Structures are given as structure tokens and as C-alpha cells.
A and B are shown apart, each in its own frame.
Chain A
Amino acid sequence: MTEAYNPTQLLACVASGLLEDNSSVFVGTGMPMIAAMLAQRTHAPNLLIIFEAGGIGPQVPVLPISVGDSRTFHRAVSASGMHDVMSASQAGYVDYGFLGAAQIDPYGNINTTVIGEWEHPTVRFPGSGGANDVGSLCWRTIIVMRQDPRRFVETLDFVTTPGYLDGPGARERAGLPAHTGPYRVITQLGLFDFEETTKRMRLVATHPGISVNDVQDASGFELLLADEVGTTNPPSAETLATMREIDPTEMVIGK
């Protein structure tokens, strides 16, 4: 029997499953933290978690409020600084980067800067933070976000962080490190990868109870479909219990 779970818990669970033991992951605020902590407490005990403010290899005791929180270097192998961790990313030491987004386009470019014109924005978001750095430098970027037609758009108001820019080879032409880019997108509806020849987003699995049509209806652009669209595994009762330990005040998983 499956315990009831909310979309956030499902997202975190699916995201966590993408992280392998003995790999390194650059983690942002919120859901990425839950996913990385969950992986470390389940299948990936030696996951090397890296935070942009300088926490390297912590055993995070409880969900941090900030990527610079003391929890981000609790029992860490190093309490360093941004120059060190960003340089390590630039030098190729970081396998996965974990990002959130306000808007995404079919090539996995993301916007966290403005809605509307840059000079006179309708909504001003916080900006890149470390997102552009993570999306530029990590080998594989995983994007976790809520999906609806205003967030999954054909053209972004502002490209904050590079995905595949305008298609195959564009990252390398721009000077970004070779063989990097978006790897997976996870939303409350499904899991996506990027089709090799076009570098456009492709639906590979839906969450339980969600149809392919539901996912397409919540997208502002035409989605590519994998030959066989699978179904993701819902979190077990044990996984849900671990998530509640990680985030006891339900700051993130309560939503």
C-alpha cells in the first residue's frame, strides 16, 4: 500500500534517484537540497555535495535555509569559499548541477531574472545567483521546477542560464565547456531528457496518474516524446519518512 504523497515529495524522490553514489553534485536552495540529502541517506551515501558558498562534502543534518547556512558545512570535508568550488566546477570536478527555474524553453535555457522587458520588468526575480555558473560548468544539469504553459515557453523573456542555447553545437560555439548541458528536467507532471539530434526537450516518463496529454497541455511548446514513455516510481513510505526527517518543519516538502 502506498502512503499519500504530495507533488513536491514525488519530485524530490525522482530527482534523488538520478544521483549516483560517488558522484559530485552542486546543490541550490530548496528542493535540490532535499533531493541530494535524500540520495545521501538512501542509495548514495558517498554523494559529494557541494554548495556555492564553500561547503564541500557535508553530512547535512537538517534542511538548510540558505546555501551558505552552517548546515551546508556540517561535518564537511572542507569549509572553503566560492572561488574554490566554482573553480572546481570550471575544472571539471562536478558531475551534476541542480537548479530551479521560473521559466524554461525547449532547449533547456532557463530564466530566473525578469518577466517582461529587462529595463522595465513586470516581475523582477533574484537573477542568476549561482545558476548561470552551475549551468555553464557542471557536466550535467538537472532542472527541477513546476510546469505550466507560462513556465514551459517557446521563447524566454531572458536567458539567465544556458541550456543548449539554440541547438546542437551552440554551447561549444559560445565558448562553454564541451560536452556539458541540461540532462534532465523534472516537474510535477513528468521527467524529461533532451533528444540527441535536436537538443530539444523530450518526455521520457510521466508521474503516476498523469497522461501524456496532461503533460502536453501544461507545456507552451511542442514536446518530443520518447519511443516508450514510462511511469516514475512514487516514493515509498520509508522515503517519505526520510524526507520528513530532512525537512521536519516542512519548509519545502509541505508544498
Chain B
Amino acid sequence: MEVLQTGEGELIGWHDPDDHRAWVAEHKSRALKDKRTTLKDAVDAYVDDGALMACGGFGHIRVSMAAIYEIIRQGKQNLTLCGKTAVHDGDILIASGCVNRVEVAYAFGHELRGLSPASRRAAESGRCEVVADISNASFQWRFLAAAMGLPFVPTRVMLGTDTLKRSSAKVVEDPFSGKPICLLPACYPDVVLMHVHRCDKYGNAQIDGIGVEDFELARAARRLIMTTEEVIENDRIRESPQDTFIPYYVVDAVIEVPYGSHPTLMPGRYYFDEEHIGEWLRLSKTEEGVAAYFDRYVHQVETFAEYLELVGGAEKLEHLRKVEHLEAPLEAPWLEEKRK
């Protein structure tokens, strides 16, 4: 098959499919065993310095912030991030210095809130290296290829653009249609952090609402750290097996962390904490502010429960539940600043 074009972006997370099969055979247990542990132990065991990591959810939707804070607390270094719609997760990880390389489908932005001061500063100063660009659909199809145990999947996006030129994709002539087609290399992150609504102690997980690309990402991950709003009995999983979004054998660690996605949105449970995100966006305009934020909300707190008290406790969490259910109006302090 003739290669018509080769993207110049760095190829990250790719493995020969037979090498990956061998790795799975050796490292991923099929035993139905209790995987409950602490975040401290899970991050210590599965997040190595220099690893390629990805976050489940959608940048500021259903992100395992509890796991992200633990990575920062443990001072992990030289991580590469799959910037598949990286929003608050990517901003925090890049600002902390733990992540210094990123493949970008979307990063350095906060959607309607505007650009992210801290991570954008890191990208423009070269402190965080962009190793490749890509599109959202392409990134999740890279995970699909990995989940399928294939070296690549074909797609009709990115063709003719600089996005393709800066990606790790290749263009070939499709042997069926004869037209140029883009091949997306599989991407197997070394470790994925994911927050779910509920799972059992083995890791069988249910998600309410959109799955985004977590179906593919969970199955592409070499190691999967799963935080959950609640751990439920295995019987409840078996009562409705059609609701199992992620099966236990791809999961390596289970940690129950209620509100573990704060300040990001947890569908059906709590809305974005715009007050807290606003505080971050304001503080992160300066390096001093970034340091102050991490001191206050990460380094000086022992437990996630303590963090929740710090951000407003039960009253705040009840408010976020109401906003999520359209029972209270949205208040966003960053809006006031934007209007000035």
C-alpha cells in the first residue's frame, strides 16, 4: 500500500498489536478480585514518571479530579498527556508541572470561559511541549484501534490540513475505493484515570449520561485507575448487565470518592463549581497564584473530604446538585470579570 503522506507529529502510545497482546496476557488479571484500594497506593503503583496518561470524561465533565490531585501531591514528573478535549484536567496538570508534553486535540482552553492562562503560558514559553496536533474524533478513534487490538483505523477526517501534517497519522490510497484515506495509529495510554457513577469492588462500572469516549479509552488503557461516586454490590451489576459500560478485567484499581469529580460536572449529580473554577482561572494568571492554589487545595489537604470542606462543604455541594437539576440558577463569577 503506497503511503501518500506521513504526519510529522511524534507517534506516542503505539505498540505492535502482538506486543500489546503479550503485555495483556502477562499483566491484566482475569481474576474476579477485590480491587479496592487508596488513591495514594493506586497512583504510586500505576503512575510512573514519564508515563503517557489520559483522563476519562470530557475535560471538565466527569473527570477524576481526586486522582489528578493525588498525582500532583506525589509530584509525578515528565508525564505526557493525551490532550483529548483537555480542559480543566489538562490545565491543572500542565500548570502543576507534572505534565510537560501533550498531544493536542483540544487543550489550553476552558470552552465558554475562555483560554486557560496557566497552560497557555506553559505552551507559549515552551515549558510544555506540543508533540502533535490531532482532532477530537481522531483521538478517540486512536483509542478505538487500541481497544480493538489493531495497529490503526482508517478515517476521512484531517485530510488536506496542517492538523494532519502535525499529527502522527498517515495517508494511503484506500485499496477498495482508490481514494486517499487517513490511517490513525492505535494509542495505548500507560495509565488512564476515570471517574464513574458507580461500580462494584471488581471494577464493573456504570455511567449515567453520555459516555464520551470512555468505552474506547477504558479498553485502550494499559492501567486503569477508577474512582467512583459509590461502590455497589456485584448483585446490582448482575441485575442489569446491559448497563455495564466498563467490565472489571480492564480495571486495575477501584477507589470510592464521593464528589471525586469536583469542580468538574458529574452528570445527574452535580454541576460545575463555577466559583471554584473561577478562583482557579483568576489565580492562575500568575505563577504565584498557581503555587498558592496548589498549596491551599492540594498540598495542605490530607483527604478529599477535607478538600470538599475547603471548597464549601455540604452547603456548596447541595447548591451544585440544584444547579445540575435546574433547580437553582447558574452563578459564574468569571462572567462578571469577562464583562468588565
Contact = CB atoms under 8 A, between A and B. Distances in A.
Please indicate which of the listed interface residues B210, B267, B271 has the most CB atoms of chain A within 10 Å of its own CB. B210
Nearest to A56: B210
B159 to A, nearest CB: 4
Contact of A129 (B85, B212, B271, B332): B85
A132 B61 contact: no
Nearest to B331: A249
A118 B132 CA distance: 10
Interface string A111-152: 001000010111111111111110011000000000000000
Say whether chain A's binding surface is mostly helix, strand, loop, or mixed. loop
B166 interface: yes
A107 to B, nearest CB: 11
Most-contacted residue by chain A among B141, B161, B331 (CB, 10 A): B161
B293 interface: no
A82 B212 contact: yes
Given A52-B136, A80-B211, A132-B135, A121 B124 contact: yes
A126 B209 contact: no
Contacts of B331: 249
Interface string B123-134: 110100010011
B105 A129 contact: yes
A159 B156 contact: no
B108 A124 contact: yes
A252 interface: yes
A220 to B, nearest CB: 19
Interface in A36-55: 52-55
B340 to A, nearest CB: 12
Interface in A227-244: none
Contacts of B213: 81-83
B300 to A, nearest CB: 29
Contact of B87 (A66, A82, A250): A66
Given A113-B163, A118-B162, A133 B138 contact: yes
A170 B180 CA distance: 12
B210 A29 contact: no
Contacts of A161: 161, 163
B162 A113 contact: yes
Contact of A127 (B106, B332, B339): B106
Interface residues of A, number: 61
A254 B335 CA distance: 10
Given A162-B160, A162-B161, A54 B271 contact: no
A250 B339 CA distance: 10
B212 A175 contact: no
B190 interface: no
Contact of B326 (A61, A79, A176): A61
Contact of B211 (A52, A54, A174): A54
The residue in A66, A131, A132 that gathers the most chain B C-beta atoms within 10 A of its C-beta is: A132
Contacts of A55: 210
Interface in B145-186: 155-163, 166, 171, 174, 179-182
Interface residues of B, number: 70
B195 interface: no
B214 interface: yes
Interface stretch (B17-25, B109-117, B198-206): B109-117
A176 B112 contact: no
Contacts of A249: 329-332, 335
Interface in A149-178: 158-162, 165, 170-171, 173-177
A249 B336 CA distance: 10
Contact of A54 (B108, B166, B180, B210): B210
B137 A127 contact: no
A68 interface: yes
B252 interface: no
A160 B162 contact: yes
A158 B104 CA distance: 14
Contacts of B216: 83
Given A81-B215, A177-B156, A128 B112 contact: no
A174 B163 contact: no
B163 A83 contact: no
A40 to B, nearest CB: 17
Nearest to B128: A124
Interface of A: 29-30, 52-55, 61-62, 65-70, 72-73, 79-83, 86, 90, 109, 113, 118, 120-133, 136-137, 158-162, 165, 170-171, 173-177, 248-252, 254
27 contacts: A54-B210, A66-B58, A66-B59, A68-B210, A68-B212, A68-B265, A73-B210, A79-B210, A80-B211, A83-B140, A121-B123, A121-B124, A127-B106, A129-B106, A130-B106, A132-B135, A133-B136, A136-B158, A137-B156, A159-B160, A160-B163, A170-B160, A174-B159, A175-B179, A176-B156, A249-B330, A251-B332
Given A66-B111, A128-B136, A133-B138, 10 more contacts: A52-B137, A66-B61, A66-B112, A67-B58, A82-B140, A113-B133, A128-B163, A137-B157, A249-B329, A249-B331
10 closest Cβ contacts across the A-B interface? Answer: A175-B180, A174-B160, A126-B109, A54-B210, A68-B58, A133-B137, A129-B106, A132-B135, A86-B137, A81-B211
